[in-house]
Structure 1
């Protein structure tokens, strides 16, 4: 898994007025906790762009003055209107102990169900895994070469070497469903067949009626 660097400044005050001032300056109040002592610091909002607004997952090399730590994003709080980050929590990680983190899903192959007119639905974009940092991949491949219409690839159907998958085994990662257009065509064909059967039945009844009247 790739590592992205973030540089921050130690917070001199932790009160509401200090927090408000930081946000006016375009900075995000942050805290990192874990192995050592908690460290309160601030990072410019713009520096989060490549870390947060991306489908990828990164570990973070935090550089706060002379303090350097490897961490993962634990929690982000967003403003309800502007959607700016208003607070960030980081958790310090160790290279010799397993950590839990989400890893993006990468779909590979071509589903037979899609060739038959189906549509893919990605239900889980990131899988929660546990493993050593050295074993964490940038993404987890999910192959769909055997995925038919109406079927799904579930968590229980995949495995990743040296990692434990923490999502429920029954959760669907990707499904192949019938499109509305294909369903409409199928319904029209079914209605056409039923209509044809009805006409044949009516013609048969008329024929019988004619025979009876002649007798």
Structure 2
């Protein structure tokens, strides 16, 4: 599903004061410091409504429709800085986008289904880099592992992409592989190897004794 702007509208306040102290006061007032940049424009420093913004940016690669100083701006969430302990949002970087332009984004992968009985699912990548329209960024792509047997694997080229999306990463990039759990045969092989080493050591000891 593509990101919509209908439920991502926010009203931002211009801010002229900077520094950690002012940022703390903003957050204490329920607002989030942010900067809007891109397309050759000077960075615009704003304050976003904290609660509404936090709810919206839970989604990956969301595009915000921001009203600031009487103008409407479309901006892609590029980076979110959070407090490492409390995980509250401290600052947001927003990249100006234009309808119809292409952007490269890491899109989350959702794995569905279950492999064949007893098989292990080994995930190698949780996101895939795609080129998509800025205002039609998919929230996720799905990869099914339903019924897959040991030795099966899925690469980036195997992912069914949303309409208009183009794969950016190497098509051979491994996404997920299916393997069988270690069984009795593996244990037997290890035991045989240990026995062979022990026999070799015993032979060497006997030769030394002679």
- Tell me the TM-score normalised to structure 2 length: 0.72
Q: Show structure 1 runs of 5+ residues with no match.
A: 196-215
In structure 2, the gaps of 5 or more residues are: 193-210
Match of 2:125 in 1: 124
Query: How many angstroms apart in 2 are the aligned matches of 1:134 and 1:22?
Result: 29
Helix, strand or coil at the partner of 2:23: helix
Report deviation, 1:95. Answer: 1.5
Aligned residues: 185
The answer (yes or no) to whether the contact 2:3–2:139 under 8 Å persists in 1 is yes
Deviations 1:152-200 (A, max 9, x none): 2111333535322223334322222334xxx2xx227964xx99xxxxx
CA gap of 1:79–1:135, structure 2 versus 1, over 3 A, is: closer
- Normalising to structure 1: TM-score of the pair? 0.71
Q: Distance in 1 between matches of 2:139 and 2:187?
A: 47
The alpha carbon displacement at 1:129 in A equals 0.9
Superposition pairs of residues 109-188 of structure 1, within 5 angstroms: 110=113, 114-133=115-134, 136-145=137-146, 147-158=148-159, 160=161, 161-179=163-181, 183=182, 186-187=183-184
Q: Which of 1 and 2 has greater Rg?
A: 1
2:78 is aligned to 74
Q: 1:89 to 1:190 in 2, by over 3 A?
A: closer
Q: Which has a greater percent of helix? A: 1
